[in-house]
Amino acid sequence: MARNLISDVPGVRVGHAQDARLATGVTIILFDEPAVGSIDVRGGGPGTRETDLLDPQMSVQRIDAITLSGGSAFGLDAPSGVQAFLREQGRGYQVGTARVPIVPGAILFDLLNGADKDWGRYPPYRELAYTAAANAGEAFALGSVGAGTGATTVNLKGGIGSASAVTADGFTVGAVAATNAAGSVVVGDGPWFWAAPYEQDGEFGGLGFPSPIPPDALHPRTKGAFRVSTALIAVATDAQLTKSQVKRLAVMAQDGLSRAGYPVHTPLDGDVVFAAATGAKPLEEPTFAFMRLGAVAANVVARAVARGVYEATALPFPGALPSWRDKFR
């Protein structure tokens, strides 16, 4: 049965772990078998690890997991925790007698969300990531969990969202989004989501789109501090794709951010989209079926971004941004 989650793609599981005191966390996308992976980065302030190998010209074709983490550059420790978990399972790229789990990751900035960030000598992200990987399953929570725990937008609490769809050709595509955008995912100061035209079954309130758009909504608003943002996206499909096709899928899926937020791809954002293909179903028609897959992937990303904000809960700190539900329900 479809859950409207990225885990509707068979062989894909998601796990979260978070620290409430620190108001930060990690989200892991785990593949039961290595998946062909690539990436598209559009923001001016990304933080990533092991992403050069995702270029189609690089030798390694498949990845074991994807890590989305809070903590800014401190969160780049997170893939090490997933590697530790996978190594215990005997997973990884075979190099002679050794196995090296391939775990690219990206981070968002949540260091100024009002929480106590005094975590001691070492940041907690490696251990959080290990826990998230151990907890990974087909069912998982949305909102202020995992990498979305401390996430914010310019005017509302951010969070983890997910969505899925099946294309006309029978391929499943899903996305998980950690929404910590510099801009806004709602139209002006109202309750309407920019992603409303792509909404399915009232998944983020069913309020539709305002007509006309309030003039002030087209005035770009962003967070005041430099590099305190980013949207982190992972897209997965059961289609059998080459690494070059997965790269193009990530590029097309990135358009979903433009449908879900305003502004996007700014110097303040990372705006990273990972894409992965499990290869369960052959792509018999490589042009138009793939075009439809990428188009639907962009819609799914837009929905996942909106769901992350819709499902979020406010942080319990003085001056914390309200959640969408606090403000509009």
Q: What's the Rg (C-alpha) of the chain?
A: 18
User: 156 with 20: CB under 8 angstroms?
Assistant: no
Run of H or E including 324: helix 324-328
What global pTM score does this model have?
0.96
Domain boundaries, the chain: 6-328
Fold of 6-328: L-amino peptidase D-ALA esterase/amidase (3.60.70)
Report DSSP letters for 39-97, one per residue: EEE-SSS--EES-GGGSTTSS--EEEEEEEESSGGGGGGHHHHHHHHHHHTT-SEEETT
- What pLDDT does 45 receive? 87
Which stretches of the chain score pLDDT less than 70? 1, 224-228
- What pLDDT does 228 receive? 66
Digit-coded pLDDT (tens) for 154-185: 999 999 999 999 999 999 999 999 999 999 99
DSSP tag of 167: -
